[in-house]
A and B are shown apart, each in its own frame.
Chain A
Amino acid sequence: MIDVEEVLVHLHDVAVGYDSPLIEDINIEVIAGDVIAVLGPSGIGKTTLLRTIAGLVRPLEGEVELAVPSRGGLGYIPQRLGLVGNASVRTNIEMGVRVGLSRWYPPFIPVPAKQRTYADRAMEDLGILHLAEHPVRILSGGQQRRVATAKTVAQRPKLVLADEFLGELDDDNVDVVMRTVREAIKAQNSAMIMVEHHEELARQVANRIWRIEDHRLVEELVR
């Protein structure tokens, strides 16, 4: 039996940047099951690459092909986490499950019980179920990172883009978060691209590394 790899992202001759290109000639694929760490010094274009794949920035050149559903297929954890501070932890996480429902499902009606269990399970896995009714703005930085992760896990996307989402977490919590994310990726046969500053950590959690050097993306295989 031939094992056909599921390509989730394909970048053809892509150049990313705002006014001038930060990274050029990117030709790369992301396969289901990949955990990719993007490494490089600050300001080199790692976040811009992630934002380009997320469809938030247009590529200066080339084409980004995403083989994931436009609604709910992509989970994005920005550097500042993108949580709604005034809303409760539960409301934030249920935003993740909501995109799995029809786009015509009214936003002011609570999500159905089945989808609610996805949120509960994600909160339980990440140890934040006891904070479910707290507004996000009162949580510590590390707790907020676990909420952002739970939101993406509950969403069950095909591709997760995470920008330095392990920052502010201690070693134990990095383990908990990464274990939960890995299990979710395995269960959904999805992939993850994460920007990371700590090379050692990146090598522990990723199976591929994209290093940005001299405006080029260089691939390293970890395992």
Chain B
Amino acid sequence: MNKRTALVGLGLLGLTFIVFIDLVGNWGRLSGGWTNLGIFFEESLWPPDWSVLEAQSYPVCDARFEFTCSVAWLGMVETIKIAFVATMIGFIVALPLSVLAASNLSPIEFAIPARILLAAMRSLPSIIWAVLFMIIFDMGTLAGICAMSFYTVGYLGKLQFESMEGIKNAPLEAAKAMGMTRTETAWLVAIPESANNLLSHLLFMFEYNVRHGTVIGLVGAGGIGLYINTYLKLAQYDKVVALLLVVFLVVVVIDFVSMALRSAVNEESDVDRPTWSSLFLPAAISSAMHPTPMKKEPSGESE
């Protein structure tokens, strides 16, 4: 690092500190904050109230496993359903839009409007989309699906067109020289070349939408968030904590499944297959438990 870079870095750090101090203003009002948090935690949050995992008293549960009539199960399943449908709708709409927005695949007169459209769709957070769609469709899952789908198109579209812009130039040049159409180039070259990233983004988006299900549910757009909102209004924070822990567990499971799926499409060891320990333990400990095998030589004859 040269002197000039160091000075710029120090300047930025100083500016950050000054702006931070200015924003906080009165530091005195923060006194006792940790104590208050401790009291709130002991009196209201902990231990979580696991009755959310028990069957509700009404309607009468006639399922084989009573757990499936619980608030946590019903809410979580609905959230996962909303997230799944919204992610798939978002993906299907975002894919052609991202091809249009990628500057290496589309002329600039198409790329700019497509980018503006994607930016507009993600500039409103999904909670605002949820409010708008609730006005149209009333409270419930349809508003939730529409809100999540809109946000997903904006967010996923940006991730996708950036992936497509990052692919190697040689296949695109070969396609152009051969006389392939833009549609052929997008379908046969750009999408397969960026497939690993597209799948990775799709799975990330699904996980994001499951997590976000708690937020849009707060405004009545269905899913587990609706129950969280109800318990917040009733000040039953121990039940809220229990539901949030359920969401956390589901997100961890989705993360594991998505890693397994990604490693399946990269079966020739671009990505190492995950182990349970790699999810929960620091990388150094996990790799000591499961040493990485030597990579295979490409199959078939060698030159």
The verdict on A86 contacting chain B, using a C-beta distance below 8 Å, is yes
- Asked if A86 and B188 sit within 8 Å, CB to CB, the answer is no
A101 to B180, CA, bound (A): 10
Residue contact B178 to A86, C-beta cutoff 8 Å: no
Whether a CB of chain B sits under 8 angstroms from the CB of A142 is yes
Q: Would you call B196 an interface residue if the criterion is a C-beta within 8 Å of the partner chain's C-beta atoms?
A: yes
Asked if B138 CB lies within 8 Å of chain A CBs, one says no
Contact A83 B300 (CB under 8 A): no
B173 lies within 8 A of A86 (CB)? no
Q: Does B170 have its Cβ within 8 Å of any Cβ on chain A?
A: yes
* Known contacts A56-B176, A107-B188, A137-B268; is-contact A80 B300 (Cβ 8 Å): no
Partner of B193, one of A76, A84, A107: A84
Query: What separation, in Å, do the CA atoms of A143 and B299 have in the docked complex?
Result: 11
In angstroms, Cα B179 to Cα A103, docked, is 9
| Residue pair A107, B187 in contact (C-beta under 8 Å) | yes
Given A95-B188, A107-B184, A107-B188, CB of A140 within 8 Å of CB of B177? no
Interface membership of chain B positions 141-176, coded 1 if the CB is closer than 8 angstroms to chain A and 0 otherwise: 000000000000000000000000000101111111
Partner of A84, one of B192, B270, B301: B192
B223-266 CB mask vs A (1 if < 8 Å, else 0) is: 00000000000000000000000000000000000000000000
Q: Which residue of B lies closest to A146 (CB)?
A: B303
Whether A83 lies near B303 (C-beta < 8 A) is no
Mask, B250-290, CB within 8 Å of A = 1, is 00000000000000000010100000000000000000000
How many Å from the CB of B290 to the closest CB on chain A? 23
Assess whether B298 is interfacial by the CB under 8 Å rule.
Answer: yes
- From DSSP, what is the main secondary structure of chain B's interface residues? helix
0/1 interface trace, chain B 65-109, chain A, CB 8 Å (1 if under): 000000000000000000000000000000000000000000000
Known: A84-B193, A99-B180. A131 touches B300 (CB 8 A): yes
Using Cβ atoms and an 8 Å threshold, which residues of chain A touch B119? none
B219 contacts the other chain (CB 8 A) = no
Bound-state Cα–Cα, A81 to B141, Å: 49
Cβ-defined contact, A95 with B178, below 8 A? yes
Are B178 and A84 closer than 8 Å at their CB atoms? Answer: no
**Contact assessment for A77 and B179 in the assembled complex, using a CB-CB cutoff below 8 Å:** no
Secondary structure at the A interface, as helix, strand, loop or mixed, is loop
Taking the closest CB of chain A, its distance from the CB of B272, in whole angstroms, is 16
How far, in whole Å, are A85 and B193 apart by their CA atoms in the complex? 7
Interface contacts (Cβ under 8 Å), in number, total 105
Interface size on A, residues (CB 8 A): 49
Contact A108 B196, beta carbon cutoff 8 Å: no
Say yes or no: is B195 at the interface (Cβ < 8 Å to chain A).
yes
Contact of B177 among A56, A85, A138 (CB under 8 A): A56
Binds B, one of A12-20, A67-75, A178-186, A206-214: A67-75
- Distance of A48 from chain B, by nearest CB (Å): 13
A82 and B171 form a contact (CB under 8 A): yes
The reply to whether A82 and B300 contact each other, CB–CB distance below 8 Å, is no
* C-alpha gap A94/B300 in the complex (Å): 21
Q: CA of A170 to CA of B193 in the docked complex: distance in angstroms?
A: 29
Given A140-B298, A140-B302, A168-B303, verify A98-B192 contact (CB < 8 Å): no
Q: Are B179 and A71 in contact (CB under 8 A)?
A: yes
Minimum CB–CB distance from B173 to chain A (whole Å) comes to 5
Residues of B within 8 A of A141 (CB): 303
B176 contacts which chain A residues (CB < 8 A)? 55-56
CB of B112 closer than 8 Å to a CB of A:
no
Q: Would A55 and B177 count as touching, CB distance under 8 A?
A: yes
B292 within 8 A of A: no
How long is the Cα–Cα vector from A131 to B180 in the complex, in angstroms? 24
Q: Within the assembled complex, what's the spacing in Å between the Cα atoms of A74 and B187?
A: 21
- Complex contacts, B301 vs chain A, CB 8 Å: 143
How far is it, in angstroms, between the C-alpha of A76 and the C-alpha of B196 when the chains are bound?
26
Which chain B residues border A51 with CB–CB below 8 Å? 173
**CB–CB A80/B170 < 8 A:** yes
B16 within 8 A of A: no
Please provide the chain A residues from 109 to 163 with a CB less than 8 Å away from any CB of chain B in the complex.
Answer: 130-131, 134-135, 137-143, 155, 157, 161
CB of B85 to closest CB in A, whole Å: 23
Question: How distant is B168 from chain A, measured CB to nearest CB, in Å?
Answer: 7
- Asked if A54 is at the interface (CB within 8 A of a chain B CB), the reply is yes
Q: Is the CB of B171 within 8 A of A72?
A: no
Ordered by A's residue number, 8 sampled pairs between the chains whose C-beta atoms are within 8 Å are: A54-B177, A84-B189, A86-B193, A86-B195, A107-B184, A108-B187, A141-B303, A142-B302
> Interface on B for A, CB 8 Å cutoff?
168, 170-181, 183-184, 187-189, 192-193, 195-196, 268, 270, 298-303
Known: A74-B178, A99-B180. 15 other contacts (CB 8 A): A74-B177, A75-B177, A75-B178, A78-B170, A84-B188, A86-B192, A86-B196, A87-B188, A91-B192, A95-B184, A98-B180, A107-B188, A138-B268, A143-B303, A161-B177
